[in-house]
Amino acid sequence: MIESLELNNKSEKTDYNILNLGPTHPATHGVFQNILKMDGEIIHETTSTIGYIHRAFEKIAEHKPFYQITTLTDRLNYCSSPINNMGWHMTVEKLLGVEIPKRVDYMRVIIMEFARIADHLVCNSIIGADTGALTGFTYVFQWREKIYDIFEEVCGARLTTNIGRIGGMERDFSPACMKKMHDFLNDFPKYFDEFTLLLERNRIFMERNIGVGAISAERALNYGFTGPNLRAAGVDYDVRVMNPYSSYQDFDFMIPLGTQGDTYDRFVVRQHEIRESLKIIKQALNNIPEGKFFADVPDFFLPPKEEVYNNMEALIFHFKIVMGEATVPVGEVYHSVEGGNGELGFYMVSDGGRTPYRLHFRRPCFISYQAYPEMIKGSMLSDAILTMSSMNVIAGELDA
Amino acid sequence: MVQIDNQYILTELQDKFGERIYNSYEPYGLLTIELDKNSIKDVLQFLYNHKELQMQFLTDVCGIHYPHVVGKELGVVYHVHSLINNIRLRIKCFMPIENPAIDSATFLFSSANWQERETFDFYGIIFIGHPNLKRILNADEMDYFPMRKEYPLEDGTRTDKDDSYFGR
């Protein structure tokens, strides 16, 4: 990379090739457009165009009752929707000042860590696919499906989950769900080890990835990087540890760190985070407290159907919730969770109405993707593809 | 070693900027200050260079619109974070809708670039000194700022829907 940069400085070329990469290119895994000014195969300048799937979520959110916004958050980072859902529930709960039962916290942690595993599996196996090692991809993708089976068991949906409710979970873990979780924990590590063996210390893979798309810790912080991308550059900022939410302080886990901030470090950090997530899930499943799976917020948590049909109060609350007539306090709140690729923040201003007055999503992809032109300057086109997949940029979150 | 808490940040800021900080409060424990919009550069730089605070991480920039507050219709909300001390600060700057202009934070934070473009795109707030202030998520040809409250979510000329019971 350094060599090619020097090459650029020496040559005083004026005739560059313009290459339009995207918006729909099979190598970019999403709707991204980059107009590259190329000197041969070396990228000289990049102009990113985003917004192709902008759906005005922030505007829609100003017109939806709180419980309906959960489905909008699904579609941000759709590789780990449950984390977005839980982040949103926790934001509203923070605004309402609800005391959440410990069991709900643990259930949420389990779901969120499964989502993180799914997210990281997709990202890492795609780095493999982009380097030409498609085998790893086919090995682990069935495990993502099994995670989706677990989500399906909890909430009925797989990709855009709408999991959990404001004030708790929609239902307790069923025995079938528990079995699926335990099966996953028993079987997955073996396959994951195989995946690790395929890639992590694979000479070809390492040489392909080390030094590609590197960013220093200073630049990464200045660019607002969070999550695995920042930790790969060597900064140990993890929201789960810095500002624990949902009882994360109860669990014992490590924050994997890289040193170079390159594609390989991002890959390895994600690999280790998957292992840490497994550790967290095990601890949570072993220590999950007994109790209710919802908090006492009748204004937001739907009562069971048999009560709705037979009990007047339950019917009233059901009606109020569905029509979005619940009252909320006036105030403003910022809550952030550790999403699949960084700090996912919700800044909500409430004027006491049935919808948020203003809701802003702090989307980690949107903020870190602006470093992309700087990261790929002077590198080869194929490295640019690899850099993008290792940053785990998700179009839905980028464009909101 | 001083105790870094909201009170400390507020005292430091008030000592330095005094009258230019209009108001301060702590909703849900997060110190929020309302600031004279002309001081945003100075305050961000001061917080960045402060020996104890080291607020060097810009978490978030977004806009907000209060159509009924005359003279302070549009606002920009900054969330800055000191990763060393793990403490956040929210800064709000309000400006009149006739002349919505504020200094850009890009001189200090590269991450402000797209976030300010987004704020411009949604609210039409001009960031002075921004290297490339144009729309980012919406089409360039758009001639209005969609997140302002006067713009309806749906086409206002539709007559086939009655949403009055749904608060829309």
Chain B residues closer than 8 Å to A370 by CB: 110-111, 113-114
Read off the pLDDT band of A9 (50, 70, 90).
Answer: low
pLDDT tens for each residue of A26-66: 778 888 899 999 988 899 999 999 989 999 999 999 988 89
Contact between A50 and B136 using a beta-carbon 8 Å cutoff: yes
> How far does the CA of residue B108 sit from the closest CA of chain A (Å)?
8
Cis-peptide into A23, omega within 30 deg: yes
| Among candidates A51, A334, A353 on the partner chain, residue whose Cβ is nearest the Cβ of B30 | A334
In a domain, B75, yes or no: yes
Question: Rounded to whole angstroms, how far apart are CA atoms A83 and A98?
Answer: 19
- Give just the sign of the alpha carbon dihedral A261, A263, A269, A270: positive
Chain B residues closer than 8 Å to A65 by CB: 167
Chain A residues closer than 8 Å to B27 by CB: 331-333
Q: Which residue has the higher pLDDT, B144 or A2?
A: B144
In a domain, B118, yes or no: no
Say yes or no to pLDDT of A8 above 60: no
Say yes or no to pLDDT of A102 above 50: yes
Helix axis angle, A102-130 to A175-199, nearest 10° = 30
Read off the pLDDT band of A132 (50, 70, 90).
Answer: confident
ipTM topping 0.85: yes
Quick one: pLDDT at residue A326? 81
> How far does the CA of residue B122 sit from the closest CA of chain A (Å)?
9
Question: Rounded to whole angstroms, how far apart are CA atoms A68 and A165?
Answer: 10
> How far does the CA of residue A242 sit from the closest CA of chain B (Å)?
7
Q: Is B164 on the interface with A (CB under 8 A)?
A: no
Domain that holds residue B88: 6-105
Average pLDDT on A139-150 reads 92
User: Count of A–B CB contacts within 8 Å?
Assistant: 96
Share of chain A above pLDDT 90, in %: 67
Quick one: pLDDT at residue A4? 46
Helix axis angle, A381-391 to A102-130, nearest 10° = 170
Residue of B nearest to A235 (CA): B83
Contact between B60 and A366 using a beta-carbon 8 Å cutoff: no
Q: Is B153 on the interface with A (CB under 8 A)?
A: yes
Average pLDDT on A222-236 reads 93
pLDDT tens for each residue of B102-151: 999 999 999 999 999 999 999 999 999 999 999 999 988 888 899 998 88
The pTM assigned to this predicted structure is: 0.92
If you write DSSP's letter for every residue of chain B in order, what string do you get?
----SHHHHHHHHHHHHGGGEEEEE-GGG-EEEEE-GGGHHHHHHHHHH-TTT---EEEEEEEEE-TTSTT--EEEEEEEEETTTTEEEEEEEEE-SSS-EEE-STTT-TTHHHHHHHHHHHH--EEET-TT-S-SSS-TT--S-TTSTTS-SS-TT--S---GGGT-
pLDDT tens for each residue of A340-356: 989 999 999 999 888 89
Contact between A347 and B62 using a beta-carbon 8 Å cutoff: yes
Average pLDDT on A232-260 reads 92
In a domain, B65, yes or no: yes
Distance set, CA A242 to CA A87, A249, A252, A281 (Å): 16, 10, 14, 19
Contact between B28 and A332 using a beta-carbon 8 Å cutoff: yes
Contact between B32 and A345 using a beta-carbon 8 Å cutoff: no
A contact test, residue of B31, B58, B59 with most A CBs within 10 A: B59
Quick one: pLDDT at residue B82? 92
Q: Which residue has the higher pLDDT, B112 or A14?
A: B112
In a domain, B88, yes or no: yes
Read off the pLDDT band of A1 (50, 70, 90).
Answer: very low
Quick one: pLDDT at residue A3? 44
In a domain, B26, yes or no: yes
Average pLDDT on A390-397 reads 90
DSSP-assigned beta bridge partners for residue B90: B32, B79
Contact between B59 and A399 using a beta-carbon 8 Å cutoff: no
| Among candidates A221, A242, A331 on the partner chain, residue whose Cβ is nearest the Cβ of B28 | A331
Read off the pLDDT band of A357 (50, 70, 90).
Answer: very high
Contact between A334 and B64 using a beta-carbon 8 Å cutoff: no
Read off the pLDDT band of B168 (50, 70, 90).
Answer: very low
Contact between A222 and B114 using a beta-carbon 8 Å cutoff: no
In a domain, B17, yes or no: yes
| Fold of the domain spanning A57-399 | Cytochrome-c3 Hydrogenase; chain B (1.10.645)
In a domain, B125, yes or no: no
Q: Which residue has the higher pLDDT, A331 or A8?
A: A331
In a domain, B53, yes or no: yes
User: In chain B, how many domains are there?
Assistant: 1
**What average pLDDT is seen over chain B?**
89
Q: What are the sequence ranges of the domains in chain A?
A: 2-49, 57-399
Quick one: pLDDT at residue B152? 83
Read off the pLDDT band of A2 (50, 70, 90).
Answer: very low
Quick one: pLDDT at residue A5? 46
Say yes or no to pLDDT of A118 above 80: yes
> How far does the CA of residue B82 sit from the closest CA of chain A (Å)?
11
Residue of A nearest to B77 (CA): A347
Average pLDDT on A288-303 reads 90
Quick one: pLDDT at residue A368? 92
Residue of B nearest to A241 (CA): B86
Read off the pLDDT band of A12 (50, 70, 90).
Answer: low
Average pLDDT on A148-165 reads 92
> How far does the CA of residue A132 sit from the closest CA of chain B (Å)?
32
CB B163: neighbour CB atoms within 10 A? 11
| Among candidates A54, A323, A358 on the partner chain, residue whose Cβ is nearest the Cβ of B64 | A358
CATH label of the domain that carries residue B60: 3.30.460.80
Average pLDDT on B18-25 reads 89
Say yes or no to pLDDT of A162 above 60: yes
Quick one: pLDDT at residue A13? 61
Q: Is B69 on the interface with A (CB under 8 A)?
A: no
Question: Rounded to whole angstroms, how far apart are CA atoms B47 and B53?
Answer: 7
Chain B residues closer than 8 Å to A399 by CB: 137
> How far does the CA of residue A363 sit from the closest CA of chain B (Å)?
9
Distance set, CA A7 to CA A18, A39, A43, A372, A380 (Å): 19, 10, 11, 21, 12
Contact between A58 and B122 using a beta-carbon 8 Å cutoff: yes
A contact test, residue of B28, B94, B155, B165 with most A CBs within 10 A: B28
> How far does the CA of residue B124 sit from the closest CA of chain A (Å)?
15
Q: Which two tokens stand for residue A274?
A: 């998957």
